[in-house]
Structure 1
C-alpha cells in the first residue's frame, strides 16, 4: 500500500475543522463553493466525481484524491470508469507537459546568449 487514504481523509477533515475555527468565513465560502458547484444539475454525481479525481491527479492534490475517491465510491463509480478517467488525466497531463516544454524552449531561445 502506498498510502492509507482513509486515514488521509480523516486527518484532512480534522485539520479542516481546526482551520474552520480560525477562518470561519473563508471555510463557509469554500463549503458553499463545493456544495453549489453543480448548480444547474447537468452532471450526475458519478460524472462529477470522475472529473474531480482526474483533476486531483493532474494537480497532485492528495487531499482531493482521498475526498473524491470516497465520494466516487459512494456515487457508484466503477473501477473501469475510474481507470478511463485517470487515463484521460494521464494523457492530458503529458500533453500539458509537451505544451509547456515548447514554451520553455521558446523562452530559452528568446534569452539568446549575448
Structure 2
C-alpha cells in the first residue's frame, strides 16, 4: 500500500471545517454546485462520478481521487468500471495518469475493504 486513502479523505474533511466557518457562503455555494453538477440528468449520477474520477486522475489530485473514488463506490461502481475509467484517464493524461490511475485503484480497494469490514461488524 502506498497511500492511506481513507486517512487522506478524513484529514481533508477535517481541514475543510475551518473553511466552512470562515467562508461559509462560498463553501455552501461550492456544495450547491457539486449537488447540481452530480445530479442525474442526461447522464446518471454514477456516470458523472466516473467522469470526476477520470478528471481527478488526469489532474493528479490525491484528495479528489480519495473523495470521488469513495463516492463512486457508494453509487455502485464496480472494479471493472473503475478500471475502464482509469483507461480513459490514461488516454487523456498520459504517463502521469498511469501513476495516479494505479493509486486510484488502490483507493478503490481500500474503500471496498473498509465497507466490507463495516458490514462484517454489523
The structure with the larger Rg is: 1
Q: Which runs of 4+ in 1 moved over 2 A?
A: none
Q: Deviations over 1:32-87 (max 9, x none)?
A: 11011145612222211111100000111111101111101111101111111111
Q: Which runs of 5+ in 1 are unaligned?
A: 95-114
Q: Which moved more, 1:32-41 or 1:13-22?
A: 32-41
Instruction: Describe the shift of the 1:2–1:78 C-alpha distance in structure 2 as closer, same or farther (beyond 3 A).
Output: same
Inter-CA distance 70–40: structure 2 relative to 1 (3 Å threshold): closer
Is 1:69 aligned to 2:103, yes or no?
no
SS in 2 for 1:37: helix
Q: Which has the higher helix share?
A: 2
Distance 1:26-1:73 versus aligned 2 partners, 3 A rule: same
Confirm or deny that 1:21 pairs with 2:3.
Answer: no
Partner of 2:2: 2
CA RMSD of aligned residues (A): 1.6
Output the TM-score relative to the length of structure 1. 0.77
The verdict on how the C-alpha distance between 1:40 and 1:74 changes in structure 2, with shifts beyond 3 A counting, is closer
Separation in 2 of the partners of 1:36 and 1:86? 24
Aligned length: 95
